[in-house]
Amino acid sequence: MAKAARARSEGEMRQRPPAEVVHAEELARLRAEDTAPRPPGWQLSLQGVKRFICGAAPGEAKVVCAPALVERAMVTLATSRALLLIGEPGTAKSLLSELLAAAISGSSTLTIQGGASLTEDQIRYGWNYALLVAEGPSERALVPGALHRGMREGRIVRFEEITRCPLEVQDSLLSVLSDRVMAVPELTGEAGMVYAREGFNLIATANTRDRGVNEMSAALKRRFGFETVFPIADAAAERELVRREAGLLLARSGVPHSPDPDVLDLLVTCFRELREAVDAEGTGLEKLSAVMSTAEAVSVAHAIGVKAHFLRGDAGRPEDLVACLAGTAAKDDAEDLARLRRYLDQRVAGRKGEGWRELYAARHLLTPQ
Amino acid sequence: MSDPAGREGLTVVGVRHHSPACAGLVRRTIERLRPAFVLIEGPADFNPSLGDLALDHALPVAIFSFRADAQGSVASYSPFCAFSPEWQALVSGRAAGAETRFCDLPAWDPAFGERRNRYADPHGARAEAAERALAAALGAEDQDALWDALAEAAPEAELPARLARYFDLLRPPGTDDPAEEARERFMAAHAAHALREAGGRPVVLVCGGWHADAIRRYAGEADGTRPEPAEPEAGMRAGSFVVPTSYPRLDRFSGYSAGMPSPGYYERVAADGFAAAADWAFDAISAALRGAGQVVSTADRIAWAVHAEGLARLRAHPAVLRADLIDGALANLVKDALDGPPAWSASAAVPGHPALLAMLRALSGTREGRLAPGTRQPPLVADVEERLRAAGLAPGPARHRLALDWAEPGDRPRAHLLHQLLILGLPGVSRSEGPDLAEPGLPREHFVLAPHPHWLGALIEASQWGGTLSMAATARLAARVEAAPDSLAVLAGALSEALFSGLAIEGALLAALDRGLAGAHDPAELGAAGRRIVRLHRFGTAFGEAARPALARLCLSLVARALGLVEAIADPRAGLDALDLLIACRDLFRDGADARPELASLRPPFVAMLGRRLADPQAPPALAGAALGFLVACGEAGAGPEALRRLRRFGLPDRLGDCLAGLFALAREEIADEATLASVEGLVAAWGDDDFLRALPSLRMAFAWFPPRERERIAVAILRRSGAGEARAEAEGLAWMRQRADPLDQAEALAREARVAARLARYGLT
């Protein structure tokens, strides 16, 4: 317990501690209480992992998604395939992968961040060139990448935004995922072959707004189980989540009070209506091309709270929402700003309630930023 | 096992409809108790015909009940498959020597309401909340998965207790349900009566679990007299017949509301258990996906089977259940992002991916019910078969085509008969060819008659509309008009079908049409209906002497309305919409020489109005073109140089296309000569490339009025005029007609090339 407490106090100093640090106590408790059989190399049973992610009771879930999705994801990881979480940006794919890795392997830090500049060395292994030149290829000179370490140590490796990598880098995963072995041809003897220990697997995430999975090779697709993560279906659950997460972020930013509940209500309602392109009465709206995700709502709530507290000393007003919406919605398409203006002009105009009226009154703030 | 809350000797088995586990429970209960009476939730008016269900039908079948009166007709179903608890109650009850009876209200009873499926579960918001909470607590995704884990996979001994607990949660014991109380009291009265008759022997009542507790309570309050279903009200036709149905129709994803999920799968569960059913499902889904061109490799199937087994263990299921199967398939076979949350629960309308839909279809199976010979049938069936035989059209074993000519006196009644069948939407009858656009003379039609497996079922169900074919067809048409009394399209369609079917034209329909024509505001809607009516009018006496004056009167209303409407059109879009209307009027004035004098007196004002529109510089180009075309076609204006002079006024890129569209729509034959084309070509040649690209879509629309053969002729003429030799013009003209790439795409490519060239020129790179 002392260790866990120390880990936590260290965690408080960090801007964003990983899940295994934030939830260290809970993980330790679950491990102690878990009597169900565990897949080889796992620190928790499947029931334990599910309990960690979905909580013991409704409302305690660390990520809001269908329990069946978590079940399928766990079973995929426990059987022979890797897991690919796919969905719109901001649907908590990375959070889910972090929680899964933390629960299964006890650490979520073996992470590869996909991107256009990623090379094969960065995910497999590289060399300490000074040592390489001095001693020739040796285990000492080898700098293991995340995949190398995950295989050797039997841990879950996370691959963020896999579809943003060049296809040839993606395909370097093929032999690792099917044969569960990585050759290091520069080394001789046992070190020349890294066999994956039990517990090794890969969780990749991909978002549908970028290149999607269409270009991914069929050979690689076959080695993944696909899970689509969706925006939160239940309005109340989303509101609660935004409130909680924004509250945590605000506290970390030194804002003493939580976001104004009325403003939060407006915020989540606007985001949901614009995302689903349907208003509360079921009338169709124009769909924005920008992503109105829950994560984006959290960061808008955070921004409103910070601005209101440090600039004015209050908890946020509907007019702040208008300014932030302009920043969020008009990210990649100028037409979105016009759509947003029509939304405010036509839909918000007639709504009852102080908040909606203030929102409408502040519509002139909707200018490109 | 008498119920403590109810009366001694009465056992109420509350079931979930279509549940194999409940069917087993019902069978075991009846075999154990050997009751004197087995009462079943089903239409009590069917009791005299209960023998119909004892015949050797191939399941699934349904009791089809209807009630029809002057206001319309309502149908409902009580479906049965081999694993329905109600069906098991019938079969086991007969085997045990019990008297079996249906004990629910007839479908015509006002208290039965408008429900389509008798075996849909009644649910309130409270019950749904309870079910959701239960599903969340037990970790099930939806109510079907919950039910499978709770009841279908339950050990036999535990099942009754689990069912009781489950139904108590949905509807707490002792509560009344106002929407269901009449049905429950009726069933309870049946139970009390049976108890009195049984003389101490047990009575078993099988009903939806929702009603069980209430029926037990109400049975204690009933006095034991035999409840008689209320007679249908005077003037109401009602009946109940056995119809064949099919698994796809029973499945709630494609069938009627609140059916059952995956009947094909549950049939295997009932027959052979979950393991065998899972094997069947693996094969069925793989075959369905492979049939749709999806790859399902052996490795995929292994991973899928392992995954499903893993999920079953994680969820503490005693076997691989349906939710495990589909979840496993989803994780392993679908290699795409889904468009919506995956859903195979009752609440979802569409699963999130085509592959999921294919899987669910595979699980629903394809079994088709068939009625045993000698099953009682409604009079409509005999009536239709008799008429078909009399007309020499009795369906044979193979499909056959039939050509009918309205000029032949023998063919006309046969056409009437087939059109009446078409109105009823019976499968196996289709009209493959027939007049669609205006053409003078009598219609010729082609029909296809083919044996269809759903023919009998559909015919029995059509009997809700009437006892004879003409009655049913008339009622069906009336219902269609009733549903959309303000739609000109529906009214004109109904008129057309009635005339082709030889049905009497209802005065109300004519009056509604007349009103609709007179009050129409949308030129497109009026035009579509108008063309239809004028076409019918042009068939002359084909529809009988009575129809002719009625149609002429409608034509008159049409022209009168067009006169006012066309005068007021100012919007370019509406100008294009008015083309059909003007075509209808043209047909009427050009060919309707024998029409009534009132029509002739409308001609001068109509011509004058179009002249004004043509002279009006503000008139939409399409309308002006159409006005010109009308005048030319009806001989009020010359097609020669005068028309070309007028045309030149519209020579600007944003007007010419629309204007030509109007002109060609009305007077293609009269005006499409070399001189016109040369004149158009001259106008177009004067434009720059940008102008041409802007005008291209509307020009294409204008020339779309020409049939392909004429378009080819025009192409050849243009090529020839531009200096190509005879042979080359022919060849290129053909090539123009057979272009693969869309001309608009080609135009877009040209425009882009021009932009690139312009930019290169700007940087001095040419």
Structure confidence by residue, pLDDT tens digits, A193-243 = 899 999 999 999 998 877 667 788 888 888 898 888 888 888 888 888 888
Nearest-CA distance A341 → chain B (Å)? 28
Calculate how close chain B gets to A89, using CA atoms only, in Å: 13
Which H or E run contains B697? Answer: helix B689-703
CB contact under 8 A, B337 and A227: no
Instruction: Verify whether the Cβ–Cβ distance B310 to A208 is below 8 Å.
Output: no
pLDDT the model gives residue B347 = 43
Q: Quick one: closest CA in B to A207, which residue?
A: B337
Subunit contact A228:B352, Cβ cutoff 8 A: yes
End-to-end CA distance of chain A: 49
Rounded Cα–Cα distance for residues B103 and B184 (Å)? 10
SS3 category, B432? strand
Q: Classify residue B388: in a domain, yes or no.
A: yes
On the question of pLDDT at B203 being above 60, the answer is yes
**Mutation target among B307, B313, B333 for the A interface, most CBs of A within 10 A:** B307
- pLDDT greater than 70 at residue B441: no
Partner residue opposite A58 with nearest CB, options B136, B299, B323: B136
The top-scoring range by mean pLDDT among A108-122, B399-413, B594-608 is A108-122
Contact A72 B314 (CB under 8 A): no
Residues B197 and B98 in one domain: yes
- pLDDT in the model for residue A73: 92
Domain end (from B364, B399, B426): B364
Q: Of the candidates A79, A224, A228, which has its C-beta nearest B310's C-beta?
A: A79
- pLDDT grade for A282, boundaries at 50, 70 and 90: low
Same domain, B389 and B413: yes
A166 and chain B in contact, CB less than 8 A: no
pLDDT above 70 for B370: yes
pLDDT digit string, tens, across residues A230-268: 888 888 888 888 888 888 888 888 888 888 888 888 888
- Residue in chain A nearest B316 by alpha carbon: A47
Q: What is the pLDDT of residue A202?
A: 93
B419 and B495 together in one domain: no
Residues A307-319 have pLDDT tens digits of 888 888 887 888 8
User: What residue type is B414 in one-letter code?
Assistant: R
DSSP B341-372: ----STT-SS-SSHHHHHHHHHHH---B-BPP
Same domain as B602, residue B455:
no
pTM of the full structure: 0.72
Looking at the domain assignment, is residue B250 inside a domain? no
| Minimal Cβ distance to A226: which of B314, B328, B334 | B334
In this structure, the answer to whether residues B501 and B640 fall within a common structural domain is yes
Q: Is B293 on the interface with A (CB under 8 A)?
A: no
Residues of B in contact with A230 (CB under 8 A): 338, 340-341
Asked if B331 has any chain A CB less than 8 Å from its own CB, the reply is yes
Mean pLDDT, chain B, integer:
82
- Structural domain contains residue B45: yes
Q: Dump pLDDT digits (tens) for B313-350.
A: 988 888 999 889 988 988 888 888 887 777 664 444 45
B319 occurs within a structural domain: yes
Residues B714 and B702 in one domain: no
DSSP A363: G
**Residue B612, in any domain of the structure:** yes
**Percent of chain B at pLDDT above 70?**
93
In 10 A of CB B263, how many CB atoms? 27
Q: Do A81 and B332 touch (CB under 8 A)?
A: yes
Distance CA A23, CA A12 (A): 12
What pLDDT, on the 0 to 100 scale, is given for residue A265?
86
- Binned at pLDDT 50, 70 and 90, residue B438 comes out as very low
* B112 located within any domain: yes
Q: Mind listing the pLDDT tens digit for each residue in B451-495?
A: 787 888 888 888 777 777 877 888 888 888 878 878 888 888 888
When scoring A71, A209, A217 by the number of chain B Cβ atoms within 10 A, the one with the most, hence best to mutate, is A71
**How close, in Å, is residue B129 to chain A by CA atoms?**
14
* Domain residue limits at B347: 263-364
Residues B401 and B450 in one domain: yes
Q: Most B CBs within 10 Å: which of A228, A229, A230, as the mutation test of the B interface?
A: A228
CB contacts of A228 in chain B (<8 Å) are 337-338, 341-342, 352
Minimum CA–CA partner of B136 in chain A: A58
State what percent of residues in chain B have pLDDT above 90: 10
Return all residues near B530 (Cβ < 8 A) that are at least 6 apart: B517, B558, B562, B580, B581, B584, B585
DSSP letter string, A72-91: HHHHHHHTT-EEEEEESTTS
**Residue B572 sits in the same domain as residue B717:** no
Residue A288: which of A271, A267, A301, A266 has the closest Cα?
Answer: A271
Q: What is the model's pLDDT at position A134?
A: 93
Pick from B706, B724, B751: which residue ends a domain? B706
d(CA B685, CA B718) in angstroms, rounded, equals: 12
Judged by CB atoms closer than 8 Å, whether chains meet at A58 and B299 is answered as no
Taking each helix axis from N to C end, the angle separating A67-78 and A93-105, rounded to the nearest 10 degrees, works out to: 50
Q: Tell me the C-alpha to C-alpha distance, in Å, between residue B134 and each of A75, A219, A233, A235, B167.
A: 24, 41, 19, 21, 12
Q: Which residue of B294, B317, B338 to mutate against A (max A Cβ within 10 Å)? A: B338
**Does A75 contact B at CB distance below 8 Å?**
yes
**Residues of chain B positioned with their CB less than 8 A from the CB of A66:** 141, 341
Instruction: Please spell the DSSP secondary structure of B722-736, one letter per residue.
Output: TT--HHHHHHHHHHH
Closest partner CB to B314 (pick from A71, A208, A224): A71
Distance from CA of A52 to the nearest CA of B (A): 14
pLDDT number for residue A331: 67
Neighbouring C-beta atoms of residue A215, cutoff 10 Å: 9
Q: Which residues of B touch A75 (CB under 8 A)?
A: 307, 310-311, 314, 328, 331
A206, A207, A211, A216 alpha-carbon torsion, rounded to 10°: 30
Asked if A228 and B337 come within 8 Å (Cβ–Cβ), the reply is yes
Could you tell me if A50 lies within 8 Å of chain B, comparing CB atoms? yes
Residues of chain A neighbouring B332 (CB-CB closer than 8 A)? 76, 81, 225
**Minimal C-alpha gap between A233 and chain B (Å):** 9
Highest mean pLDDT among A234-248, B119-133, B336-350, B429-443: A234-248
DSSP state of A189: G
Residue of A58, A79, A208 lying closest to B307 (CB–CB): A79
B323 to chain A, any CB pair closer than 8 A? The answer is: yes
> Do B597 and B570 share a structural domain?
yes
Residue A160 pLDDT > 50: yes
Is residue B396, in this structure, part of any structural domain at all? yes
Q: Which of A71, A79, A224 sits opposite B315 (nearest CB)?
A: A71
Q: How many CB pairs under 8 A join A and B?
A: 75
- Domain shared by B653 and B733, yes or no: no
Tens-digit pLDDT profile for residues B23-75: 999 999 999 989 999 999 988 888 888 888 888 888 888 888 887 776 667 77
Give B-chain residues touching A208 at CB under 8 angstroms.
337
* Residue B352 confidence (pLDDT): 66
Six token digits for residue B415: 């056409």
Chain B contact for A66 (CB, 8 A cutoff): yes
pLDDT at B595: 57
Averaged pLDDT, B355-364: 84
Q: Using a CB-CB distance cutoff of 8 angstroms, which residues of chain A are in contact with residue B334?
A: 226
Number of domains composing chain B: 5
The pLDDT value recorded for residue B122 is 63
Give the distance from residue A358's alpha carbon to the nearest chain B alpha carbon, in angstroms: 34
Q: Is the pLDDT of residue B544 over 80?
A: no
Of the three residues B706, B731, B753, the one that is the final residue of a domain is B706
| Strands laid side by side in the B72-80 sheet | B72-80, B61-69, B237-244
What ipTM does this complex have?
A: 0.81
The pLDDT score that the predictor gives to residue B2 is: 40
Q: Is residue B714 part of a domain?
A: yes
Residue B682 Cα distances to B15, B636, B676, B678, angstroms: 81, 26, 10, 6
Q: Are residues B350 and B389 in the same domain?
A: no
Distance from CA of A349 to the nearest CA of B (A): 30
- Residue B751 parent element (H or E): helix B743-762
Residues of chain A with pLDDT > 70, as a percent, come to: 91
Tokens of A193: 């072959």
Q: Are residues B307 and B445 located together in one domain of the fold?
A: no
Residues with Cβ < 8 Å from B425, sequence gap 6 or more? B458, B462, B476
